[in-house]
Amino acid sequence: RNQDSSSSGHCLVLSRLANAVTPLWRLPYQEQLQVRYYESQRKILQTLASRLEELGIDAQKPGGLCCPLQPVVPSPIINGYRNKSTFSVNRGPDGNPKTVGLYVGTGRERNIVCVKANHVENIPSKHKQVAQCYEEFICHSPLDSCILFHEGGHWRELVVRTTRCGHTMAIITFHPQQLGQGALATQKALLKEFFTSGAGAVCALTSLYFQESTMTRCSHEQSPYQLLHGAPHIFEELLGLRFRISPDAFFQVNTAGAEVLYQAVGELCQAAGDTVLLDICCGTGTIGLSLAHQVSKVIGVDVVEKAIEDAEWNAAFNGISNCEFHSGKAEAVLPQLLASWEEARPLVAVVNPSRAGLHYRVVRAIRNCRAIRRLLYISCKPEGEAMRNFLELCCPPDPRKKLAGEPFAPVLAIPFDMFPHTVHCELVLLFTR
């Protein structure tokens, strides 16, 4: 009976994880698309329509939407599509404090446990293999896992990135606590040995990185990524181009889905040969470079310096000469770029920000640039901070907020399923003025 009870409890925890990470996993795929369309995407456009009405803008279209909504574009790959996974280290359901997996539970209820992700359908087998090997390594380490910073411990997060070229990058985050440089060097040597000639060699890592971090998240500038083994970059092929990827560079998590997304973006831009494409939050340059052949010039901006280095390398490697990339916060770089814009060529903007959305000064710079008549906003969380951006783009001119430019209006919305088995979509909203 005890064995039955233990097995039942284990299955319950696995189901809780699957339901938390991939809540639609039990539904046939076509039903998943319908759920997203009716239960999330329509509601987003209805909310935007209502918020615009509050601003005195007549935005109600059939169904209470702010603009036509196309069906959800399916992902070419449904299972194991993620090219990047982040695994935590914490106490597991069996009490093992060095379990590598994903969280179940909440801090408020104090019932957080870390559950192995072996059965989660959107994570590829290679990622699960690296996570299992990392757990094996830290379980044999005399150093504790770092669950709460103030309680000590060292072993923390694992990030695994893979590409269709067969490359695998592992990034291990480590809290140094009070360890000296000699002790740190020993741990790095042991880690390298394990993944190159020990049991972890089965992972065949292309790159093994180590980051000493005393914060929840650290950029390369705050705490450099240290290459312990292999090549400094991995490479991906997308729409006939080859892209170099650094440890912290943004790349769409579903590569096959990204190809479908970028092809649609190219069509929606309606870019003629004399068009200048403004690629804001450009990452490694995937959008701008994939559309460079359609336009006269691409201008990319991103805050991650390494991503901009990747973008410049990608342009040169692929023989694309009509692109320029700028490193820095968009709110600092973009106003300077657009303040004196007097180009006669049409200017189309594509923005693909993080969940935090665009800084207000970026929206203001776009609004106040008369040359931008067409804007594509790509959002992985349109119901969040992006909604604030939508309203700022469409609200009447407001001298107090220095919004002097003519407002935009939403004219078309297309959701792309970049995250099968989840409730999320990548929503592309087309704005014109």
CA distances from 147 to 90, 108, 173, 223, 265 (A): 6, 16, 12, 20, 42
Select which of 133, 269, 323, 380 is catalytic: 380
Measure the CA–CA gap between 245 and 209, rounded to whole angstroms.
Answer: 13
64: left (phi over 0), alpha (psi -120 to 50) or beta: left
What is the Cα–Cα distance from 429 to 412, expressed in whole angstroms?
A: 6
In terms of Cα–Cα distance, which of 153, 158, 236, 152 is closest to 191? 158
How is residue 19 written in tokens? Answer: 């339901």
Look up residue 375 and give its DSSP letter.
E
Is 203 one of the annotated active-site residues of the chain? no
Closest to 226 measured CA to CA, from 259, 256, 189, 251: 189
What are the backbone dihedrals phi and psi of residue 243, each rounded to the nearest 5 degrees, phi first? Answer: -120, 135
Q: Which phi and psi angles does 40 have, rounded to 5°?
A: -130, -55
Distance of CA 294 to the CA centre of its chain: 26
**Cβ-based neighbours of 107, under 8 Å, separated by 6 or more:** none
What does the alpha-carbon distance between residue 233 and residue 245 come to, in Å, rounded to a whole number? Answer: 6
252 known ligand binder: yes
How far apart, in Å, do the first and last CA atoms of the chain sit?
69
| Annotated binding-site residue numbers | 252, 302, 352
| Annotated binding-site residue numbers for S-adenosyl-L-methionine | 252, 302, 352
Report, as residue numbers or ranges, the catalytic residues.
Answer: 380
